[in-house]
Structure 1
């Protein structure tokens, strides 16, 4: 029998510590080894107890979750799941936490003290189990440094309307850092629009877009309903909405849809790929990076049948979770499998 996943629960709220510990302890394969009230205690107990996974509140006194995360990832690298309130400051800190090496995050449904934390119970347990199955070096070894060579301009013969070619990207767990590695390597004159689905709840995608826009040469923004897509702009689907497109003459407009979850997600990669297929865009590049599940595989098959298509997938070596990339590779439709730091350069080859 496998050893249980050892978890350290960190939150300044006694209520939240108790609730999270109880929901995790109810699972036979999870062992809560201790609880901590602030970031300083988290750092100390991580060194002493060496947990497999930490649930870490973002906003705490004495030492914040973000400051604690930096120290933990430097001194005692561990899989960390951030627990964040859906506030602007909480979302911004959570996005930075992803950048600093957090495995993933869950959102508190109603702020810092929440009686409906049970809403996230299943998702938290799923993430803890997933984190427990991933080697720590999958988190610590991901490279996002940008080589200066990749920042140079590119020459492209395809300088037509946005309807001629689109790049569609799908990612989930580990995605924020993967998107950073991809987008920051693209030159500011990148000649095509980029449509992105990152599995993330409402309230966090705007902060992700703003952070990536700050770091990148190209413009990155949260997609807005009805806007016409432009070359050299990356559009991230807002949490809670499917990202679809429709052609208007030679232009392409974004349509956000609040329809049913697909593969347990809204936004869904399948929905994005299927939408591009239905609009008969002249050419597309699809990129599938780290994430759990198979979202994107079904849509990719439809996209392949409808549009001249190039497909890139992230390698198992650099994927935090090799679920979504593996699923599309198994479809037999992937043209190239690349490590994370090679995906942008490979994409430029097809522009």
Structure 2
């Protein structure tokens, strides 16, 4: 028997067959069963005890969101969602990430994607990676969030060094939407800095992420647009499939979006964003690496620390990271100033800004 046991839940017999064939081609994975809807899926989970579940969002009888919530309540385990790129599909995907899904796969051409084989590598990679994710940390974060929402932090008047402007830049991947929600919800409305975020996510989904976070936060959260000038108290999320960098425009900074080649398989890339901040010596820059698979952000952070003045580097601790890949790679550069539990990231940054 191969190592990682997978259950495939999808209402389409064609999709169940195709996903099963794709996963079974990977020597590390084996599909132990399939289910045609959420109710059937919950029954199969109890019978088969899979290591990972792939779960379609749109299904009759019991859809993917209801099924996911039940899974996380009864038998928490890694779930990878399959989603169609529609406005509703993107919104449902953001809800799935909130409910505890590890990651999601965008179907290339709708609910029944005849060309699903074109994303074979992505499917096997994400399912394999999901098996190594700390689900308990996701569950703990969810309980903490649901107990504090709506969250209204005390407004604080922040002391600023008049000589230096402030800039916060954050990179995240697997587990990132949850982590970003935790960090951003605690930022005060009078934040004296713009916030740049690269979250690994496909085109079309980053806008839904930004819109959702904007409804929860005191700061303004939006998907970044090419050419816009950075404003204090605004959070800019890089659009999927676009690198986000900054360039000087007079005394200000403006966003520049591009589709230059991927970096470490990513576009947007945290490294590319961090590298664009080199030489901003009239800024105090806070570079933060949160949960995620891989090492994106480490090289850019190292360059920032070595070649720019007034840079403070933070990495999420292993204790709170859903996936301790990106933060670990950042830590291993020996350039990280603060290793911080997710719950303390915002407070740490705000104290540093106020010093």
TM-score calculated relative to the size of structure 2: 0.94
Distance 1:108 1:148, change over 3 A: closer
Give the deviation of 1:190 after TM superposition: 1.3
Cα deviation, residue 159, structure 1 = 7.8
Partner of 2:168: 167
C-alpha displacement of 1:154: 2.1
Which residue number in structure 2 is paired with residue 9 of structure 1? 8
Partner of 1:181: 182
- In the alignment, structure 1 segments of 5+ residues that lack a partner are none
Aligned partners of 1:341, 1:279: CA distance in 2, in Å? 29
The answer to whether the 8 A contact 2:317-2:341 is kept is yes
Question: Any idea what the Cα deviations from partners look like across 1:157-180, whole Å, max 9, x if unmatched?
Answer: 32869x822100000000000000
CA contact (8 A) 1:12 1:60 kept: yes
Deviates more, 1:170-179 or 1:300-309: 300-309
1:309 alignment partner in structure 2: 311
Which runs of 5 or more structure 2 residues have no equivalent in the other structure?
none
Deviation of 1:317 (Å): 1.1
Which residue number corresponds to residue 208 of structure 2? Answer: 207
The more displaced of 175-184 and 245-254 is 245-254
Q: How does 1:324-335 map to 2 (within 5 A)?
A: 324-335=326-337
1:350 to 327, 343, 352: 352
Deviation at 1:197, TM superposition (A): 0.1
The residue correspondences of 1:237-256 to structure 2 (distance < 5 A) are: 237-256=238-257
Q: CA deviation at 1:135?
A: 3.7
SS of the equivalent of 1:126 reads helix
Is 107-116 or 126-135 further displaced after alignment?
Answer: 126-135
Deviation at 1:314, TM superposition (A): 0.6
> Residue in 2 aligned with 1:140?
139
Q: Partner residue of 1:288?
A: 289
RMSD: 1.8
Alignment partner, residue 297 of structure 1: 298
Counterpart CA distance in 1 for 2:112 and 2:207 is 23
Question: Counterpart of 1:119 in 2: which secondary structure?
Answer: helix
Work out the number of aligned pairs and report it. 349
- Contact 1:56/1:80 (8 A) holds in 2: yes
